[in-house]
A and B are shown apart, each in its own frame.
Chain A
């Protein structure tokens, strides 16, 4: 999961490099709620560096690593101590929304900050080994329905994490009533999970499209469903969506920023506009295409609504499977 985050975030590097607007933030600061080397850290560090190189900000963007609690420490810091800072943005992703939804940031909710903008998304997918007899998503879900013990699904996130929820969303949409019977095995990152799929320890894999690109290219695994509203562009076009197989399931891992609640409207609008323009640049589109990232073009209020919706969705499924009460 952490590794996937790094990967997506590094794609964000491109976005920093193509920025063209000039705007002066006084002491711009980006909080990465994790240690250096993590996905959130890359987002901040590279964006900051590139912004300065391009002369968009006069002072160096201070990148502050505030690790702990899966982002919860940083969230609490922003809410409690930095609530009126105009110069501050914080890296976030689906993982942030998942934890907010499950109450994993004790005492904090999503409306305690302002959500700025997204910079892209990575759609979920479900795959099996190339030599597996399973060819479609309904076949896999049928097997799970008939004998849940016969199929182990591997993913890179913890139980209740995003990779796990994706497969549960699919199972739920297919009419498996007690999704808790789905056997999910958590690994340290998508790469390790794919390796165990190849080794034959598990029967299916749930992850993001970008995680398994190398193995899809080499033909070692086959993607049986993409959890996107419609087929992806480019070389990923050949994979069927879950929807067209009759399973109405969506799962997007987005990446973006939030800012303190007390930020002035001017400052907020400036950040929104900046990231929006960067997102629109052709260079950024190229970076996304090369990485199997899908568009997710949301800024300001639209992004805020999107986050609220995904928090609500995660909350309801988490309740259903009993992760939260």
Chain B
């Protein structure tokens, strides 16, 4: 059943993609093929393969229980917050919190998680910023 839904979704996605391709505004200056042709070819392959998945589904995959999905959603939220807050809070602080959270959710005790977070953050800072010279987000404290 999952594959059927997946295949149907793929067909719709292909249609949407083809529609978006047709919306591409052509400039006056176009080559012989134009910017739409190749995306339309891709949309065709995409749609056909989705249709085949729909018609010949594989065995049902193992889906996690609702609790696990909530766990994943929470992790995604933390990561998005991390991405958004990184330039504000600075690299070391943001990374320590994000790493500690992940470590905690993966089964560390709270103290172990905090240590993992700080260790990861400082370790990465040393290797990437101090040794390799990449510019990482600088927070209010200068790191």
A residues contacting B by CB (< 8 A) are 62-65, 159-160, 180, 185, 321-323
B residues near A323, Cβ cutoff 8 Å: 27-29
**CB-based contact A322/B135 at 8 Å:** no
Which of A64, A160, A185, A321 meets B135, CB within 8 Å? A64
Closest B residue by C-beta to A32: B135
Cα distance A63–B136 in the bound complex, in angstroms:
10
B residues contacting A by CB (< 8 A) are 27-29, 31, 135, 138
Closest B residue by C-beta to A180: B29
Cα distance A160–B29 in the bound complex, in angstroms:
9
Shortest beta-carbon distance from B28 to chain A in Å: 3
Cα distance A160–B27 in the bound complex, in angstroms:
10
Cα distance A180–B29 in the bound complex, in angstroms:
6
A residues near B138, Cβ cutoff 8 Å: 62
Cα distance A160–B28 in the bound complex, in angstroms:
11
Which of A62, A63, A185, A322 meets B27, CB within 8 Å? A322
Where chain B touches its partner, the secondary structure class is loop
Where chain A touches its partner, the secondary structure class is mixed
Most chain A CB within a 10 A radius of its CB, from B27, B31, B138: B27
**CB-based contact B135/A159 at 8 Å:** no
A residues near B29, Cβ cutoff 8 Å: 159-160, 180, 321-323
Closest B residue by C-beta to A159: B29
B residues near A180, Cβ cutoff 8 Å: 28-29
Closest A residue by C-beta to B28: A322
Which of B27, B31, B135 meets A65, CB within 8 Å? B135
Closest A residue by C-beta to B135: A64
Cα distance A45–B138 in the bound complex, in angstroms:
17
Shortest beta-carbon distance from A117 to chain B in Å: 24
Please name 5 further chain A to chain B contacts, defined as beta carbons within 8 Å, in addition to the given A62-B135, A185-B31, A322-B27, sorted by A numbering.
A159-B29, A180-B28, A322-B28, A322-B29, A323-B27
Cα distance A320–B133 in the bound complex, in angstroms:
46
Cα distance A62–B138 in the bound complex, in angstroms:
10
B residues near A64, Cβ cutoff 8 Å: 135
Q: Can you list 20 A-B contacts with CB-CB less than 8 angstroms, sorted by A residue number?
A: A62-B135, A62-B138, A63-B135, A64-B135, A65-B135, A159-B29, A159-B31, A160-B27, A160-B29, A180-B28, A180-B29, A185-B31, A321-B28, A321-B29, A322-B27, A322-B28, A322-B29, A323-B27, A323-B28, A323-B29
Closest B residue by C-beta to A45: B133
A residues near B27, Cβ cutoff 8 Å: 160, 322-323
B residues near A322, Cβ cutoff 8 Å: 27-29
Closest A residue by C-beta to B142: A27
Shortest beta-carbon distance from A59 to chain B in Å: 11
A residues near B31, Cβ cutoff 8 Å: 159, 185
Cα distance A160–B30 in the bound complex, in angstroms:
11
Cα distance A185–B33 in the bound complex, in angstroms:
12
A residues near B28, Cβ cutoff 8 Å: 180, 321-323
Cα distance A321–B135 in the bound complex, in angstroms:
41
B residues near A160, Cβ cutoff 8 Å: 27, 29
Cα distance A46–B28 in the bound complex, in angstroms:
41
Most chain A CB within a 10 A radius of its CB, from B27, B28, B29: B29
B residues near A63, Cβ cutoff 8 Å: 135
B residues near A321, Cβ cutoff 8 Å: 28-29
Shortest beta-carbon distance from A226 to chain B in Å: 26
Cα distance A63–B134 in the bound complex, in angstroms:
8
Shortest beta-carbon distance from A62 to chain B in Å: 6
Cα distance A174–B29 in the bound complex, in angstroms:
20
B residues near A185, Cβ cutoff 8 Å: 31
